[in-house]
Amino acid sequence: MKNKLLPLSITFIFIIIFIVFYKGLKDTNVYTPESKINNEVPSLVVDLFDTGKTVNTKDIFQSDKFYLLNIWSSWCVPCKEEHPILMELRNNDRLKVIGMNYKDNKDNAKNFLEKLGNPYEKIIFDSKGTIAIEWGAYGVPESFLIYNNVIIRKYIGPLNKVSVEEIKSYIK
Amino acid sequence: MKILKLFLIIFLIFSINALKADNEVIKNKITKNLRCLICQGQSVYDSDSEFANSLKIVVDNKINEGLSEKQIYSYFQSKYGEWILYDPLFNKNTYFLWLLPLLIFFIGGAIIFNKFVKKQK
Structure confidence by residue, pLDDT tens digits, B44-99: 999 999 999 999 999 999 999 999 999 999 999 888 888 899 887 787 878 888 88
**In the predicted structure, residue B41 carries a pLDDT above the cut 90:** no
* Residue boundaries of the structural domains of chain B: 2-89, 90-121
The alpha carbon torsion through A48, A38, A82, B49 (nearest 10 deg) reads 70
Per-residue CA distances from A48 to A99, A120, A149 (Å): 10, 12, 19
B37 → closest Cβ in A130, A134, A138:
A138
Nearest neighbour of A130 by CB, restricted to B40, B57, B78 = B57
Interacting residues of B53 by C-beta distance below 8 A, sequence separation 6+: A129
ipTM for this model: 0.77
The low-confidence residues of chain A, meaning pLDDT below 70, are 1-2, 29-38
Interface membership of B106 toward A (CB under 8 Å): no
Contacts of B90 (CB under 8 A, 6+ apart): B98
Specify the pLDDT at position A18. 94
Could you report the per-residue pLDDT of B7-28, keeping only the tens digit for each? Answer: 777 766 766 666 666 888 999 9
Q: Which residues of B are less than 8 Å from A30 in CB distance?
A: 40
pLDDT at B39: 84
Asked whether the beta carbons of residue A34 and residue B53 sit closer than 8 angstroms, the reply is no
Q: Give the model's pLDDT for residue A96.
A: 93
What's the pLDDT score for residue B43?
A: 93
For residue A93, the Cα-to-chain-centroid distance in whole angstroms is 22
- Which pLDDT belongs to residue A87? 95
Does the beta-carbon distance from A33 to B40 stay under 8 Å?
no
As to burial, measured by CB atoms within 10 angstroms (0-12 exposed, 13-18 middle, 19+ buried), residue B93 is: exposed
| CB-side neighbour CA atoms (13 Å) of B70 | 3
The pLDDT, as a whole number, for residue A7 is 86
Q: Which residues of A touch B (CB under 8 A)?
A: 29-31, 33-34, 36, 103, 128-130, 132-134, 136, 138-139
A45-171 belongs to which CATH class?
Answer: alpha beta
Per-residue confidence at B117, pLDDT binned at 50, 70, 90? confident
Q: Tell whether domain B2-89 is in CATH 1.10.10.10.
A: no
Burial-class residue B115 by CB neighbours within 10 Å (0-12, 13-18, 19+): exposed
Phi-psi region of A72 (alpha: psi -120 to 50; beta: other; left: phi over 0): beta
Q: In this complex, how many residue pairs, one in chain A and one in chain B, have their CB atoms less than 8 Å apart?
A: 45
pLDDT value, residue A36: 63
| Distances from the Cα of B45 to the Cα of B5, B22, B48, angstroms | 40, 16, 8
Burial (CB count within 10 angstroms: exposed 0-12, middle 13-18, buried 19+), residue A57:
buried
**Residue A36 to chain B, least CA–CA distance (Å):** 7
| Domain residue spans of chain A | 45-171
Phi-psi region of B39 (alpha: psi -120 to 50; beta: other; left: phi over 0): beta
As a 3-state breakdown, chain B gives helix, strand, coil percent values, each rounded to 5, of 70, 5, 25
**Selected residue with higher pLDDT from B1 and A117:** A117
Search chain B and give the residue with CA nearest A136: B79
**CB < 8 Å to A138, chain B:** 37-38, 51, 80
Nearest CA among B61, B54, B79, B63 for reference residue B29: B63
Taking the CA of residue A6 and the nearest CA in chain B, the distance in Å comes to 14
CB contact under 8 A, B54 and A33: no
